Amino acid sequence: MIRSIGVIGAGEHMRQVLLPSAVAAGLRPKVVAARTLASAQAAAYPYDAAVLPTAAQVASTDVDAILIAVPVDHLAPVLREVIPAGKPVYVEKPGAATSAQASELAELADRCGTKVQVGYMKRYAPAYRRLRQAIAEGDLGPLTLAAFKWAMGPFGGRRDLTDWLVENAVHAFDLAGFLVGPLLIADILVREIAGEHVVLVQGGCQANACFTMHACTTGPWWHENETVEVFGIGAAMRAHNVTDLALRRADEPEQVWSPNFSIPVARNLTGTALGFVPAIAAFAGPDDSGHRGPDLHEAAAVLRLVEQVAAAAGAA
């Protein structure tokens, strides 16, 4: 079992999301390294953790595992330093900047016998777990269509297509593969409008069904950003903004499951509902827990999908 962790990276996502989620999952940050001393100290202070200058030094301490969240272009260099130490690694998605890097790192992890879990936490969100179980158990009848929407607000032209696909929209492609994969892309349409991105993808998935992916940076921030709707025959399930799940069957009343945020217990907390806490808890649990997380081989596969989309737009 994993109890103590070494932390590499100290940005807002690490300080505000990953570290609180790790603590909620029962882990104790023991040492921290970051690009600047000030950010490392800010991340370390709430947990009385020590500060070290390099990733390699974090990996060489007597911690049980390593937690990494650094800019995408820094992921591969950090992992090359850390993986040979042999300690389990939880690295924020996408795990590498390219599919080739992810494959290289996966081979390194295999040679070193190092467990690496990539932070595709949406796989652990309770609503998506319930949806996947319903598909697997045939609750909707045979799978016919899965429709995914990933709508982010405008970035004002600050993010190019490949950057956005690899760092953000990759979540949607990983989730689609997790729920109804393997995905086989048939058609891709990409448009750039006022410096923002619009992507339409369609193709085949499991059980001879079809999938569609609508992704954009033209939506309204703080509203409906993420939906998944899966159709069987005469029945459908729809997940809305990760946390809410509805079952619609023939002319029966709609059944809705959602967290009750007014009751402050673990199952209703944001870190659980979004999948962060259960993802890290699964990483920290015994290897025979039945919840093996996404590894670098899977990270390489989903990166190949988004690279296919970028290539279709002439962006790769």
Please give the CATH number for the structural domain made up of 4-121.
3.40.50.720
Q: How far apart are the first and last CA of the chain?
A: 41
Q: What are the boundaries of each domain within the chain?
A: 4-121, 123-268+296-312
Per-residue pLDDT tens digits for 285-311? 876 555 578 999 999 999 999 999 999
Q: CA 13 → CA 2, 40, 137, 139, 247, distances in Å?
A: 22, 13, 36, 37, 33
Residue 147: its H or E element? strand 145-151
Residue type, 95: G
Our CA dihedral for 172, 173, 179, 183, rounded to 10 degrees, sits at 160
Please tell me whether residue 180 adopts helix, strand or coil conformation.
Answer: helix
**Class level of CATH domain 123-268+296-312:** alpha beta
What is the pLDDT at residue 316? 43
The closest of 253, 233, 234, 237 to 245, measured between CA atoms, is 237
Tell me 140's DSSP state. Answer: T
Residue 311 contacts residue 59 (beta carbons within 8 Å): no
3-state helix, strand, coil in the chain (%, to 5): 40, 25, 35
Which residues in the chain show pLDDT less than 50? 316
* Backbone φ/ψ region at 160: left (φ over 0), alpha (ψ -120 to 50), beta: beta
What is the pLDDT at residue 287? 61
> Distance between CA 179 and CA 146 in Å, rounded?
9
Give 63's contacts (C-beta < 8 A, 6+ positions apart).
Answer: 4, 5, 6, 30, 31, 87
The closest of 151, 195, 202, 157 to 305, measured between CA atoms, is 202
The closest of 7, 80, 76, 78 to 46, measured between CA atoms, is 7
Side-by-side strand order, sheet with 210-216? 184-193, 196-204, 210-216, 145-151, 226-231, 235-240, 244-249, 255-257
The closest of 166, 116, 133 to 295, measured between CA atoms, is 116
Nearest 5°: CA angle at 311, between 109 and 176? 60
Residue 244 contacts residue 258 (beta carbons within 8 Å): yes
> Distance between CA 266 and CA 238 in Å, rounded?
24
Per-residue pLDDT tens digits for 63-118? 999 999 999 999 999 999 999 999 999 999 999 999 999 999 999 999 999 999 99
Helix/strand/coil (H/E/C) assignment for every residue in 247-308: EEECCCCCEEECCCCCCCCHHHCHHHHCCHHHHHHHHHCCCCCCCCCCCHHHHHHHHHHHHH
- Residue 28 CB: number of other CB atoms within 10 A? 15
State the DSSP string of 196-241. Answer: EEEEEEEEE-GGG-EEEEEEES-SPTTS--EEEEEE-SSEEEEEET
> Distance between CA 177 and CA 148 in Å, rounded?
11
